[in-house]
Structure 1
Amino acid sequence: MGVDVVSLLRELDFGIEEGTSARSLLLRSPKNAIFLVSVVSSVPRVNAHTLRSFIARRSSPVRPLFVGSTATEGVLEQARAGVVDVLTQQPLQLILKGEVFSPSLEESAPEQPKVSPGRLAWGRWGIERCLLLAVTPLTQSQIAELVGVSQQMVSRVCRQLGSWITTTSAGVMLSDPKNLLERWRQEYPGAGGQQFGWYSLDPIVKQTLNAVSEAKLLDARPLVSGDVAADRLMPWKLPSRGRIYVDGPIDLAGCGFVPAPLDEATLITCVPADPTVWRLTEHGIFQMHDDMDLADAALVYWDVLNSDGIDSQEAADHLISLITQELR
């Protein structure tokens, strides 16, 4: 069985895009460094013979990425010296131009999770959101597919959660959703990325619908979060600002908006850094709407709680009851 390169790269929080040829990938590190590599077919163990057997195109600027379940120490020394690029599964590490990328080796207790300095734990937070939104047990492979991470990462996170989850023959499920939701809220930094402020005199819901329509025309995959989404999930919040996730910057100047500073904006569009934002939008049992797609309930909860509306705390409390299944 070959190595699942994409899953390993995602576990290392790398962004992945197609490169200039069939086997090339454009990789974006967690610190936004860009690497163009050509993926060499994986082997059980990358060794000196593997390197000698690969004939690189001398005229190509694309560096080969050697992939294996393991690699010899000699190959790893060459990789750390910047001579070759290597991705291994055991241990999970990616070495590009001499820089080593690896997950945190800390396996912390549920109440004290650890994150490597300089890296954001998008994968772990996505797995925790997945468990929070689930209404039935999920196998580790189902969670991995939903979140877009490796099964090894799911297994590690489940071990870290300890007594907070229950394992059955059907899979795993949270036994303490309220405490996990609170911990996730405290740790999660928000979806990150680029935010753009817009101003309009229209009512907030109408602004949001107009922006969604424009974003759909631009194939920007809009997801509504914040006040408007909270009001759709639990009719309590009086929307005071719109918030939409899009997969690229969009110009709303042609549909009744003018650019505005974020603190003065009536609507914010966000190109998130969190790669899991779109993964869980239809996960769990939540009401669907024909006129707009909503971000998942956990993201909506975080966005509302971290907004400056006068009724944000009350709306967030109602969402807690929804997410922890008290009202489902």
Structure 2
Amino acid sequence: MEVDVVALLRELDVAISEGTTDRSWLLRSPTGEPVLVEPILPVDRITSHAVRNISSHRRSPASPLFVGRTITPNMLEQAKAGNFDVLTERPLQLVLRGSVYAGEETAPAPARRRPSGRAAWVRWAVGRCLLLSSEPLRQPAIAELLGTSQQSVSNAARQLGDLVADAGSGLSAANKARLLEHWVEEYPGSSGPEFGWYSLDPIVEQTLQAAKVAELLDARPLISGDVAADRLAPWKLPSRGRIYVNSPIDLGGDGFVPAPADEATLITCVPRDPTLWRLAQATPCPESGAPALADAAIVYWDVLASGEIDSVEAAGHLKELIIGSKQ
């Protein structure tokens, strides 16, 4: 279900910062009230069944924030009575501790459709493993690197078909250029909520500053996009920063102000792809002691997806790095 939780909260003038756990957020309502919540996977309609099903299995200290495109009248009344917290898209409203914060009535935008079924994070990660490796990799080694089972790796390799070669010494890309093209066509991006920030500092400087703050908050930052591309295959002058973190971070007191994504000079993202940190070690940072980078394939995807006028040329230099001169 595609509901942009961050965008809805921002539109309602609700501030978001890190919580006490990896999945919890500290919200500050327009009236200044801080509330610790844990957003629940969005549903099309919040019903009594959905609320009971989630509530009965929870052990987190953070209150669940039920998110849905719509909500039944009965559940809305219960939320207003303070029984639980909800965020809905149509109409745009947040009910927090019984208080209602509503947005302006606008015509709903068409929903973006995602492919049905479970995201194939393991298969896509296996493809990245083979793209990033300079030698064949045995299935147990891939499984250990990705934190998954050998059977999952075997299934992923089988689904990749003739894009994968197995000469007995391990798995490798039959042709890295073809595998990279296939991976880019299939991969949906790291997904997850994104937070836009604006700063007047140079892009590289503000990205490194944000990464430093994220490290202090134990958010495990991984630099991607333009700045990472400039570190791996210098060519493009960075025009926007991008950092992956494992929980939302508040940069408001560090020279940044919140900004819409299309106006932001820096994007922080809490990815749904669980393999980003697993494969980051496959792309060592060229500078000793510098913040960690996302792996080269993720950086390549992010640069291509940026849609900037010179993104294709910049991605081409990363492609050469990934596939090597012999491909």
Please give the TM-score of this superposition, normalised by the length of structure 2.
Answer: 0.64
| SS in structure 2 of the partner of residue 254 of structure 1 | coil
In the TM superposition, what is the alpha-carbon distance from 1:145 to its structure 2 partner?
Answer: 1.2
CA contact 1:199–1:265 (8 Å) conserved in 2 = yes
Cross-structure match for 1:323: 322
Cross-structure match for 2:208: 209
In the TM superposition, what is the alpha-carbon distance from 1:158 to its structure 2 partner?
Answer: 1.4
Correspondence list, 1:22-101, <5 A: 36=57
Partner Cα separation in structure 2 for residue 284 and residue 212 of structure 1: 17
CA-atom RMSD, angstroms? 2.9
In the TM superposition, what is the alpha-carbon distance from 1:289 to its structure 2 partner?
Answer: 4.2
In the TM superposition, what is the alpha-carbon distance from 1:168 to its structure 2 partner?
Answer: 2.5
Cross-structure match for 2:270: 271
Correspondence 1:299 to 2:301:
no
CA contact 1:144–1:151 (8 Å) conserved in 2 = yes
Taking a change above 3 Å as real, the CA distance of residues 150 and 29 of structure 1, as seen in their structure-2 partners, is: farther
Cross-structure match for 1:243: 242
Cross-structure match for 1:170: 169
In the TM superposition, what is the alpha-carbon distance from 1:161 to its structure 2 partner?
Answer: 2.4
Cross-structure match for 1:160: 159
Partner Cα separation in structure 2 for residue 116 and residue 36 of structure 1: 28
Taking a change above 3 Å as real, the CA distance of residues 285 and 166 of structure 1, as seen in their structure-2 partners, is: farther
| SS in structure 1 of the partner of residue 277 of structure 2 | coil
Gaps of 5+ in 1: 1-16, 19-27, 39-114
The residue type equivalent to 1:234 in the other structure is A
Partner Cα separation in structure 2 for residue 205 and residue 236 of structure 1: 14
The residue type equivalent to 2:266 in the other structure is L
In the TM superposition, what is the alpha-carbon distance from 1:268 to its structure 2 partner?
Answer: 0.3
CA contact 1:280–1:296 (8 Å) conserved in 2 = yes
Partner Cα separation in structure 1 for residue 284 and residue 172 of structure 2: 15
Taking a change above 3 Å as real, the CA distance of residues 202 and 173 of structure 1, as seen in their structure-2 partners, is: same
Cross-structure match for 1:132: 131
Q: Deviations over 1:145-168 (max 9, x none)?
A: 112221111111212223222213
Cross-structure match for 2:120: 121
Taking a change above 3 Å as real, the CA distance of residues 152 and 316 of structure 1, as seen in their structure-2 partners, is: same
Correspondence 1:282 to 2:281:
yes
Partner Cα separation in structure 2 for residue 298 and residue 149 of structure 1: 20
Taking a change above 3 Å as real, the CA distance of residues 291 and 240 of structure 1, as seen in their structure-2 partners, is: same
In the TM superposition, what is the alpha-carbon distance from 1:186 to its structure 2 partner?
Answer: 1.1
Of residues 177-186 and 277-286 in structure 1, the stretch that sits farther from structure 2 once superposed is 277-286
Partner Cα separation in structure 2 for residue 178 and residue 246 of structure 1: 29
| SS in structure 2 of the partner of residue 279 of structure 1 | helix
Q: Deviations over 1:194-231 (max 9, x none)?
A: 10000000000000011011111101000000000000
Partner Cα separation in structure 2 for residue 312 and residue 233 of structure 1: 15
Partner Cα separation in structure 2 for residue 276 and residue 121 of structure 1: 11
| Percent identity over paired residues | 58
Of residues 185-194 and 318-327 in structure 1, the stretch that sits farther from structure 2 once superposed is 318-327
CA contact 1:211–1:252 (8 Å) conserved in 2 = yes
Number of equivalenced pairs:
228
Cross-structure match for 1:314: 313
Taking a change above 3 Å as real, the CA distance of residues 213 and 148 of structure 1, as seen in their structure-2 partners, is: same
In the TM superposition, what is the alpha-carbon distance from 1:293 to its structure 2 partner?
Answer: 0.7
In the TM superposition, what is the alpha-carbon distance from 1:122 to its structure 2 partner?
Answer: 1.0
Taking a change above 3 Å as real, the CA distance of residues 257 and 287 of structure 1, as seen in their structure-2 partners, is: same
Q: Deviations over 1:154-200 (max 9, x none)?
A: 11121222322221332111111111111111111110001000000
Taking a change above 3 Å as real, the CA distance of residues 289 and 310 of structure 1, as seen in their structure-2 partners, is: farther
Taking a change above 3 Å as real, the CA distance of residues 118 and 158 of structure 1, as seen in their structure-2 partners, is: closer
The residue type equivalent to 2:228 in the other structure is A
CA contact 1:194–1:270 (8 Å) conserved in 2 = yes
In the TM superposition, what is the alpha-carbon distance from 1:123 to its structure 2 partner?
Answer: 1.3
Partner Cα separation in structure 2 for residue 177 and residue 29 of structure 1: 36
Q: Deviations over 1:240-290 (max 9, x none)?
A: 000000000000011100000000000000000111111101126773542
The residue type equivalent to 2:241 in the other structure is G
Partner Cα separation in structure 2 for residue 288 and residue 174 of structure 1: 28
Cross-structure match for 1:221: 220
In the TM superposition, what is the alpha-carbon distance from 1:30 to its structure 2 partner?
Answer: 11
Partner Cα separation in structure 1 for residue 284 and residue 208 of structure 2: 23
Q: Deviations over 1:55-78 (max 9, x none)?
A: xxxxxxxxxxxxxxxxxxxxxxxx
